[in-house]
Structure 1
Amino acid sequence: MVLGMVSCNDDDDKVVPEPEPVITLDSETGVYLVKVGRQLVINPTVEHDKGAYYSWIIEGKLVGMEKSYTFSSDTCGKVFVIFRVETKNGAAEEEMRVDVAELAPPVISLMMPAGGLKVLANTDYKLNPDVQNREGATYKWTLEDQVVSTDSCYIFNQPELGHYTISLEVINEDGKGEKTIDIDVVDQMPYKVEFDKPTYFAENNERSVFSGKTIYLQPSLEYFMAPAYVWTIDGREVDNGGKALFAYTPDAAGEYTIGVKVTETANSGPQIITRNIIRTGSASVESTVKVICYGTEDSRKRPVTAASSALWNKVYEYCPAPGQFINETKTGGFLGNEITHEQAVAYAEERLKPGNVWVSLGGFGGYIVVGFDHSIENKGGFDGYDFSITGNQFEGSSEPGIVWVMQDVNGNLLPDDEWYELKGSETDKEETVQEYAVTYYRPAGPGMKVEWTDMNGKTGSIDYLIEYHSQPYYYPNWIKEDSYTLKGTCLKARNVQDPTTGFWDNQSFDWGYADNFGQDKADGDNAEAGPLQTYFKIGNAINRDGSPANLKYIDFIKVQTGTNAKSGWLGEQSTEVLSFEDKNMSK
């Protein structure tokens, strides 16, 4: 019994060892963020650290010996930091990552008309800039050296005609952004009337028509509210019922000068219409276009020969709207140095050559123009169809492209004649908008959305998807102007999001559109988003008034993104094309 009692007392006197240290970082993820030149204090919690030695290690070098560490770096990047705690009872170690980012001063973007900003006297004009990195920022608007506002937007209104300069200064903790806006206060807006060129980069604006055919002319207007039209042929006034669209059938081959005088008839006082501009008053503006009438339609037809290819042979123009794959060097395949129209065309040609690699047309209005080494006849040799356009559409992923065709009427082997839209299932529907125009504005800094305004004064943007892309700009690098306008037919979008899954369904249209999973596609569900042809009939070509064009053949094809829509995290709807083929030559 005595021996047993002694044994129990020995157990009670045993010393329990101190536990090893335990480190808890003050970042749940173990990742810290700091900007260049700024200090970051990392202050972890350590348990059981009596008599501890602390070590902070970066790239194998001891940089600190305190319980907390103040980090700073003059260069961007990711830095891995090791924190080690040692006591006589053991050691603990944690690795963390510090992401060093650039300073983010404000970047100011403001949509400005290509011809400069003009505002009527005694009229409100709201300047509402898009400012990147605006969190916690202060604003200062200065007009002629006087501070006039400290709000994020400013209402400009001046009674005196003349030139005014407004400066905007936005300051946040990282720095300052500045923007200067020049405004001309006028008593009448600069009304403008002009005939559109067939393509954005066209050299001239002569129009061509075959003998016995009708050409349809309609000018584009700026600033008019209630225009009235008077048309002339070689200076002789003709009765067109005051309509904007003029159908002209020349009597014989030759050159004709078609003129139009547009008069503003609104005189009921100021009214607000497109682009935040308020217009009033009256004006008459004239414009002319030369129409050249050539011989018969058959005289320009280029027949199929033994050397002819069923596939397209040349890209003539590539003018996309801004979009997530424009300038993108990975999935989009750009080199990143395309700064001329010729380089952009070369990019598109190289992408299309294999026939299974897509070219993106960006948002609404973006287009591509291709040609063939022969004329494609209107004979429906492939189950009633004449040619095909390959896209990457599949069920739930249709991004419809409007298809246009052209004949080489003037015989110069260039697409500078008349475009004819191919009728589709949506052509005659009320929600389909003909002659729809969108102007895109260059963003002020990298990673910013591209803002746009349309012909009706509606505004929007092509959003920058930082999660998926890293190119600085969605705005095409080779467009020199700070804004450009694309015009075409706009369909009502059919994109819906599932409220439960969050997935987007870009629903298809019945028929008549490229990159569309409609009734006129090749067989197959194409679940892998591979190349899939859609078939087209030249007989569906229509004039600008909707009447049949009755073309015997075509020489050029244009595809143009036909919706102005975006699908959340998927980004903007943008037509993709992979190839073009004369199906009359197919076996």
Structure 2
Amino acid sequence: MIMKKDVQLKFALLLMLFVASFAACDDDDEKIDAGSPDFTFNSETGEYNVRIGKEVALCARVKDAVNPVYTWKREGKIVADDTVYYFKGEILGESFVNFRLDADNGSVEKQVKVTVVDRLAPQIKLESAAVAYCGIKKEFAAETEYTDETTTFEWSYGGQVVSHDSIMSFEEEDINVYTLALKVTNADGVDVKNINVSVIPEEKPLLFFDNARYVLPSMLDKAITMTCPIGKNVVLAPIKFAISDQAIYEWKVDGAVQSGQTSVCFDFKPSVEGKTYEIDVTATDNGKTASAKVYVECTPKEGTYFRDVTPKSSYISNYCYEFIPAPGQFINFPEGKTAEDARMTIQKTLDNGGGEGGYLASLGAWGGYFILKFDHSVENGGDGEPDFDMTGNPLGKYWCECGVVWVSQDENGDGVPNDTWYELKGSETGKPGITQRYALKYYRPTATKQDVLSIDNDGNLSFLRRNAYHPNSGYFPWFMEEEYYILTGTCLGNQFLTEGIETNWGFDWGYVDNINDPVGFRIDNAIQQDGTPAKLKYIDFVKVHTAQMGQGAAVGEVSTESSAAIDLRLKAKK
């Protein structure tokens, strides 16, 4: 019995040690998961101004700190031990204050500058451009710094003073750009700012199929036709506006509901060669619905319209079908120019033997594109080697303006790129923050010098600002005469950095105007809308579009520049 109790005691002790060590490991894991501590100040610049005799609050916003201790130091002396220090302006001039954070998981210290002045006029922080919806009231609050009990506000609109409150209510029915003026006054001075308000219709749920080309409002109710060779499949996925990711979809083929098909992607395999199928999709999202229609033509088997290389074949894609730029500082198609004029800027370069060493055009901001055609079909070598290449003008990894490549076969044999398009995956495909089926609606400005308003299909609003170094360029392609035009594709996100020298870092591989490793593009990388392999044996057409967002003060917007496409195997034989 004594031996049995000893064994039980030893087992209990071992169990306690195991539990304790496991708990210790858990504690360590929690510390690791906490990461390193950090903080930011309530001044983005780390600089503060205060009027003599007044106080300014220096605030540190702390994150990821385990058991933190705070210290504010001024001239080497501790002046506060909280996240907030109230600095009193007693002597004119500059002072420097350090905030230190000490925690179990690390320490960090940063410095701010406080300038004490004898006069401190107000500063308006409102953006110079805003968006409102037709017939819906929008409130503008006078976001300002350095206000006190003497501060007054004055809002003007249409040449008349309309309010003396800090908040102004604005409403207009018609699409246009309207100008508000805000005047803020305190005992030390005045600040005035104009706010240009773009009034647009409220976004409503919208579905449509684009097949890699631009879309105008007048085109939204017209169904396009896509192609699919007999024996293959095509994944259909509409572009959506004002529809959430939680929407439920209903798909119909020639009027018959497709059971179990409720996602935004529909994998369709036609079975009758020569038949054109009518496919309808309806999205239901929080009680709201939107519908779209597309036709799918079942074409002859893949390879029927393959075009062999001849002695006269060019290894350069030598015909431009379309050039639709996004707005940008190097886009100069004023009133009177046409889409054909834009196309011919590229075609003339190709006709004169250019397009290989340099680039054909700047595509403008996100979504701008061109479509090129080879005079023969470019085969998928299937050997892991690149099938074709397209270059740009990147300046090392720190300055790339990446474009996504799309490819298409002449599946219906008419020689026109009106067939189904497939994206070439790159190193970022499928990663968080990369958006397939992205769309941007560019609104036509009401005046040539205005910034260009855009809205994406998630409802995000932005303005493409005019670059100070190119103030007289066209920016908007004025041959787009309707209220707006929509560009679609893949968004690689924003790599743009403006700290010091403006940079836009590239990606590992798979993009135009990028430092790619490996070099070149493989037809094997063509994917369907759901990311599955397209399994193309060859291609006839190539499209490139600007795929990154970003805008700087010096360099302007990120804009892909691309050469023509080069058939690498045919070039090697020439």
3-state SS of the aligned residue for 2:342?
helix
Please point out which of 510, 513, 516 is paired with 2:511: 513
For the 8 Å contact 2:455–2:461, the answer to whether it is kept is: yes
3-state SS of the aligned residue for 2:280?
strand
Partner of 2:347: 349
Give, as a single letter, the amino acid of the residue that structure 2 aligns with 1:465. N
Distance, in Å, in 2 between the alignment partners of 1:302 and 1:575 is 30
3-state SS of the aligned residue for 2:303?
helix
For the 8 Å contact 2:154–2:161, the answer to whether it is kept is: no
Matched positions, count: 414
For the 8 Å contact 1:397–1:506, the answer to whether it is kept is: yes
How big is the shift at 1:458? 2.6
Superposed, 1:32-431 pairs within 5 Å as: 117=134, 125=138, 140-141=156-157, 155=169, 190-200=204-214, 205-225=224-244, 226-253=246-273, 254-264=275-285, 266=286, 282-327=287-332, 339-352=337-350, 353-355=353-355, 356-358=357-359, 359-379=361-381, 384-395=385-396, 396-431=398-433
For the 8 Å contact 1:198–1:416, the answer to whether it is kept is: no
Deviations 1:341-364 (A, max 9, x none): 111101122245422443101111
Distance, in Å, in 2 between the alignment partners of 1:167 and 1:363 is 22
Partner of 1:558: 543
For the 8 Å contact 1:167–1:178, the answer to whether it is kept is: no
How big is the shift at 1:442? 2.9
**CA 1:581–1:469 in 2, change beyond 3 Å: closer, same or farther?**
same
Distance, in Å, in 1 between the alignment partners of 2:310 and 2:385 is 22
How big is the shift at 1:198? 3.5
Which sits farther off after the overlay, 571-580 or 352-361? Answer: 352-361
For the 8 Å contact 2:129–2:195, the answer to whether it is kept is: no
How big is the shift at 1:340? 1.1
3-state SS of the aligned residue for 1:586?
helix
**CA 1:408–1:112 in 2, change beyond 3 Å: closer, same or farther?**
farther
How big is the shift at 1:337? 6.6
Give, as a single letter, the amino acid of the residue that structure 1 aligns with 2:354. P
Deviations 1:122-155 (A, max 9, x none): xx54589xxxxxxxx975458xxx9965789854
**CA 1:577–1:191 in 2, change beyond 3 Å: closer, same or farther?**
closer
Give, as a single letter, the amino acid of the residue that structure 1 aligns with 2:517. Q
**CA 1:233–1:309 in 2, change beyond 3 Å: closer, same or farther?**
same
**CA 1:513–1:445 in 2, change beyond 3 Å: closer, same or farther?**
same
Distance, in Å, in 1 between the alignment partners of 2:324 and 2:528 is 23
Give, as a single letter, the amino acid of the residue that structure 2 aligns with 1:514. V
3-state SS of the aligned residue for 2:374?
strand
Distance, in Å, in 1 between the alignment partners of 2:292 and 2:546 is 30
3-state SS of the aligned residue for 2:441?
strand
Distance, in Å, in 1 between the alignment partners of 2:340 and 2:368 is 17
Distance, in Å, in 2 between the alignment partners of 1:436 and 1:166 is 26
Q: TM-score, normalised by structure 1?
A: 0.63
Give, as a single letter, the amino acid of the residue that structure 1 aligns with 2:493. K
How big is the shift at 1:463? 2.1
Please point out which of 460, 464, 467 is paired with 2:466: 464
Q: For structure 2, list consecutive stretches of 5 or more residues without a partner in the other structure.
A: 1-127, 142-152, 183-193
3-state SS of the aligned residue for 2:231?
coil
Which sits farther off after the overlay, 285-294 or 247-256? Answer: 285-294
Deviations 1:354-384 (A, max 9, x none): 2244310111111111001111110168x81
Deviations 1:73-130 (A, max 9, x none): xxxxxxxxxxxxxxxxxxxxxxxxxxxxxxxxxxx977578xxx465xxxx54589xx
**CA 1:260–1:201 in 2, change beyond 3 Å: closer, same or farther?**
closer
Give, as a single letter, the amino acid of the residue that structure 1 aligns with 2:492. L
Distance, in Å, in 2 between the alignment partners of 1:118 and 1:196 is 30
How big is the shift at 1:303? 1.2
Distance, in Å, in 1 between the alignment partners of 2:551 and 2:155 is 31
For the 8 Å contact 2:324–2:370, the answer to whether it is kept is: yes
3-state SS of the aligned residue for 1:555?
strand
Distance, in Å, in 1 between the alignment partners of 2:453 and 2:365 is 12
3-state SS of the aligned residue for 2:385?
coil
Query: Which protein shows a greater Rg?
Result: 1
**CA 1:552–1:167 in 2, change beyond 3 Å: closer, same or farther?**
closer
Give, as a single letter, the amino acid of the residue that structure 1 aligns with 2:459. G
How big is the shift at 1:250? 0.9
Give, as a single letter, the amino acid of the residue that structure 1 aligns with 2:265. L
Deviations 1:193-214 (A, max 9, x none): 3222441269861111101111
Partner of 2:108: none
For the 8 Å contact 2:335–2:479, the answer to whether it is kept is: no
Identity %: 35
Partner of 1:131: none
Q: For structure 1, list consecutive stretches of 5 or more residues without a partner in the other structure.
A: 1-107, 129-136, 267-281, 328-333, 522-534
Give, as a single letter, the amino acid of the residue that structure 2 aligns with 1:354. G
Distance, in Å, in 2 between the alignment partners of 1:517 and 1:211 is 38
How big is the shift at 1:182? 8.1
Deviations 1:472-521 (A, max 9, x none): 53111221123222221111333334x5xx32233221110001012134
3-state SS of the aligned residue for 1:344?
helix
Partner of 1:538: 523
Partner of 2:494: 493
